[in-house]
Amino acid sequence: MREERRPHPWQVPGHLETRADHLTVDSIDTVKLAEQQGTPLYVFSEKRIADNIRYLRSAVESVHPRVKICYASKANSNMAVLDAVRRAGGEIEVNSGGELFKAKTIGFRPDQIVFNGVSKTEEEIRDAIEFGILAINIDSLYELEQTARVARSIAKRANVAIRIVPEIITGSHIGLQTGLLSSKFGVSPSQIEEAFKRALEAKDAINLTGAHIHVGSQTPDPQPFALAFAEMWKFLVSLYKKTGHRLSHINIGGGLPVNYLSDTPMADEIDQRERQMLRAELDPQQVLKAALEEACVQGEAELLEGLTIVFEPGRRIVGDTGLLLTRVCNIKHRPETGDTWLLTDAGYSLALSMAMYKWYYHLISASRADEAHVTPFKVAGPLCDSGDVYFDLERGARLPNYRLLPEQTNVGDLLALLNTGAYTLDQASQYNGRPIPAAVMVKETGEIKVIRRRQTYEDLCMQDVW
Ligand SMILES: Cc1ncc(COP(=O)(O)O)c(C=O)c1O
């Protein structure tokens, strides 16, 4: 009798599967892909991006009919990814003039764009006003004056929202928390009424349309979102009662998490707090319900009715749509420690969070995906510093000490770092003279499209002048 093979815990039916012992993405064999395109290789799924957007939208629309899903393009601003987002009905969040340029080039409409940033230049503000975007999220009283000045200089009104820093702590990594008074973001609660007042006084230049809060990335529970929403709601109601001015949108930011730990027998090695954060799964519907409940919106139901609720998810839209294929290039045994080391062609220059936040990306064998992953290896990238390893060198228990792979994994084997769709390609660098790898998109049609060509050695010198 044929033995039933149990699905791998990391498996995503219809998306991430195996065939003949090889890992497949939307039915495309990753081993063949790596042979054709070389490694390292970023692989993205267009279908998964679209599915994530549609899922998010329908989940939150079931709670409130007017929403905007402004994809945080910093998570991955490759043009083909932005195009996939736009075609799936997403809107966009940008954080620089460059991201605004990309959004415009892809064809996002002005009413689909919100602009964040702690140190916007006059040029960036001018571009945003000229295009007439939905909201420049104002980060300080100074920036409000600056925006009014720029608007007057081009005789156009700027649509603005005020970014509030609410002093809300989350269970995420400290480097990813943005709602604390000790962080660099937003206008302090004690200055919000002043900001609203000044914005209304500058009517000739400023169109005050919204309030904004972003509590941080990979937020593992609904409470911070709920508290953030309630904080904005309080200001919105008070503004209406004092002045009769209605905001048209309230922006709850990004931060919906991705589960990075769906499969790791070594999770116990990871610090408990870290584990909870990396393993988080939040139902967006529940998040929004909790927010409306916390704010007691029923008291002013009429205000809610005219309001658009904006979300700025980045990670949740692209995190699980991509993986990074890497090849084992070298192997060594250390008799003194008993360890076997696998040296790959993908280091932290291709997945910066691995070094910066000791981020856990699950590693599997793509060429022997169905084999038992039970043998512990030390795994490291090709870069010249000791910190370029797939474990926590400082022994902070933020990553497991070993990665489990099939027995006798060796030079030439293809490995895959899963869930690397967000905050990887955009942060990639040429450090150590390593050209930035190619990226491919598996299209909904099944076609494989190169969405970023592999850099050459010549590209390494291209911008230098000598
Ligand atoms: C203002 C703002 N909005 C949205 C995001 C996206 O966060 P995430 O990718 O966790 O959804 C970020 C990320 O740092 C951000 O700074």
Please tell me if the CB atom of residue 214 comes closer than 6 angstroms to any atom of ligand 1: yes
Give the span between the Cα atoms of 312 and 28, in whole angstroms: 30
Show pLDDT as tens, one digit a residue, over the chain (466 residues): 445 567 899 999 999 999 999 999 999 999 999 999 999 999 999 999 999 999 999 999 999 999 999 999 999 999 999 999 999 999 999 999 999 999 999 999 999 999 999 999 999 999 999 999 999 999 999 999 999 999 999 999 999 999 999 888 788 887 787 777 888 899 999 999 999 999 999 999 999 999 999 999 999 999 999 999 999 999 999 999 999 999 999 999 999 999 999 877 777 788 888 888 999 999 999 999 999 999 888 788 889 998 999 999 999 999 999 999 999 999 999 999 999 999 999 999 999 999 999 999 999 999 999 999 999 999 999 999 999 999 998 877 789 999 999 999 999 999 999 999 999 999 999 999 999 999 999 999 999 999 999 999 999 999 999 9
Give the span between the Cα atoms of 452 and 466, in whole angstroms: 27
**pLDDT of 182:** 81
Please tell me if the CB atom of residue 388 comes closer than 6 angstroms to any atom of ligand 1: no
Question: How far, in Å, are 110, 278, 359, 465 from residue 261 at the CA level?
Answer: 38, 6, 11, 45
Give 243 Cα–ligand 1 centroid separation in angstroms: 31
Domains of the chain: 16-45+319-461 (2.40.37.10), 109-313 (3.20.20.10)
Residues 103, 160 contacting (CB under 8 angstroms) = no
Give the span between the Cα atoms of 258 and 280, in whole angstroms: 6
**pLDDT of 270:** 86
pTM for this predicted structure = 0.96
Give 181 Cα–ligand 1 centroid separation in angstroms: 17
Give 117 Cα–ligand 1 centroid separation in angstroms: 11
Give the span between the Cα atoms of 413 and 341, in whole angstroms: 13
Q: Would you call 70 a catalytic residue per the annotation?
A: no
Give the span between the Cα atoms of 360 and 13, in whole angstroms: 22
Q: Which atom of ligand 1 is nearest to the CA of 315?
A: 9
Q: Which atom of ligand 1 is nearest to the CA of 316?
A: 11
Q: Comparing C-alpha atoms, which of 157, 23, 31 is closest to residue 412?
A: 31
Please tell me if the CB atom of residue 75 comes closer than 6 angstroms to any atom of ligand 1: yes
**Which one of the listed residues 70, 329, 384, 461 is annotated catalytic?**
384
Give the span between the Cα atoms of 464 and 466, in whole angstroms: 7
SS3 assignment for the chain = CCCCCCCCCCCECCCEEEECCEEEECCEEHHHHHHHHCCCEEEEEHHHHHHHHHHHHHHHHCCCCCEEEEEEHHHCCCHHHHHHHHHCCCEEEECCHHHHHHHHHHCCCHHHEEECCCCCCHHHHHHHHHHCCCEEEECCHHHHHHHHHHHHHCCCCEEEEEEECCCCCCCCCHHHECCCCCCCCCECHHHHHHHHHHHHHCCCCEEEEEEECCCECCCCCCHHHHHHHHHHHHHHHHHHHHHCCCCCEEECCCCCCCCCCCCCCCHHHCCHHHHHHHCCCCCHHHHHHHHHHHHCHHHHHHHHHCCEEEECCCHHHHHHHEEEEEEEEEEEEECCCCEEEEEECCCCCCCCHHHHCCCCCCEEECCCCCCCCCEEEEEECCCCCCCCECCCCCCCCCCCCCEEECCCCCCCCEEEECCCCCCCHHHCCCCCCCCCCEEEEECCCCCEEEEECCCCHHHHHCCCCC
Nearby residues of 402 by Cβ (< 8 Å), 6 or more positions away: 266, 339, 376, 377, 378, 391
Please tell me if the CB atom of residue 310 comes closer than 6 angstroms to any atom of ligand 1: no
Please tell me if the CB atom of residue 173 comes closer than 6 angstroms to any atom of ligand 1: no
**pLDDT of 53:** 98
Asked if the peptide bond before residue 40 counts as cis, ω within 30 degrees of 0, the response is yes
**pLDDT of 2:** 46
For residue 236, give both structure tokens: 């919105």
Please tell me if the CB atom of residue 116 comes closer than 6 angstroms to any atom of ligand 1: yes
Question: How far, in Å, are 263, 430, 461, 462 from residue 466 at the CA level?
Answer: 50, 19, 10, 11
Give 349 Cα–ligand 1 centroid separation in angstroms: 21
Q: Which among 277, 312, 423 is the best mutation to test ligand 1's pocket, defined by most ligand atoms within 8 Å of the CB?
A: 312
**pLDDT of 272:** 84
Nearby residues of 25 by Cβ (< 8 Å), 6 or more positions away: 15, 16, 33, 43, 45, 323, 442
Give the span between the Cα atoms of 276 and 283, in whole angstroms: 16
Please tell me if the CB atom of residue 92 comes closer than 6 angstroms to any atom of ligand 1: no
**pLDDT of 274:** 87
